[in-house]
Amino acid sequence: MIELDARRLMCPMPVIKTQNIIKTLLPGDNVRVTCTDPGVMQDIPAWCRINGHTVLKTEEIDHEFILTIEVGND
């Protein structure tokens, strides 16, 4: 599992950082993105739907938003 720290970044940077790391991965790989901007809970899943990736899990722990994404065949 690849870990992406997008804490203290505001929209659209968490989505851009997620996009950039996913470009380096293979279909079926997983990436866990940790953010502090609550907007990512809508923005990243929307980006994943458009680009063929799957959000496997979303969590909120201690004011951090964590999304686990499976890379699709974009």
Catalytic residue ranges: 11
Strand partners, 55: 69
Q: Any idea what the Cα angle at residue 68 is, between residues 62 and 37, rounded to 5°?
A: 45
Task: For residues 52 and 5, give the distance between their C-alpha atoms in angstroms, rounded to a whole number.
Answer: 22
Angle between helices 13-22 and 40-51 (to 10 degrees): 40
